[in-house]
Amino acid sequence: HSMGSIIAYDVLSFVAKQSRIDTFITMGAPLGAPFVMSRIAAHSKSTYGQIKLQTPEAVKKHWYNFSDIRDKIALDYKLSDDFTPNSKGVKVVDKLVTNNYVMNGIANPHKSFGYLRAPEFINVLVDFINDKQA
């Protein structure tokens, strides 16, 4: 969630790129923000000689990006426009949700609890669990 999405992307792309994960999930991710993308692109260019941003090679099956359009941290909620598929063809699947978290009468569409209880996330989680049990 949030900054954790940037850290996870960085680790999967540059540190633990030999790791293999089935599903990468980002929520309320600022990965599409121009200043974040420019930092990732600069690191990618110095590391790999390429600027294009892509799904980390470590991701084997899915990358789901959950965003609420009211979430000011996830200001570019369509990461599929910003990141190309990896060599396995895994690309970002953007899922818009309604993060209805409210505390003391104040809505917070960036709060992780609201993302975790969104039906769209629950469906992906159930599919992931069922796939692992098969």
Tell me what percent of the residues of the chain surpass a pLDDT of 70.
Answer: 94
Q: Quick one: which of 28, 24, 30, 33 has its CA closest to 55?
A: 24
pLDDT at 131 over 70: yes
pTM: 0.91
Residue 134 or 100, more confident? 100
Residue range 42-50: mean pLDDT, rounded:
72
Higher pLDDT, 17 or 116: 116
d(CA 58, CA 64) in angstroms, rounded, equals 14
Measured in whole angstroms, the distance separating CA 3 from the mean position of its chain's CA atoms is: 11
Q: Are 47 and 20 in contact (CB under 8 A)?
A: no
Query: What percentage of the chain exceeds 90 in pLDDT?
Result: 84
**111-122 pLDDT, tens per residue?**
999 999 999 999
* Residue pLDDT, tens place only, 80-94: 999 999 999 999 999
Do 45 and 8 meet the contact criterion of CB atoms below 8 Å apart?
no
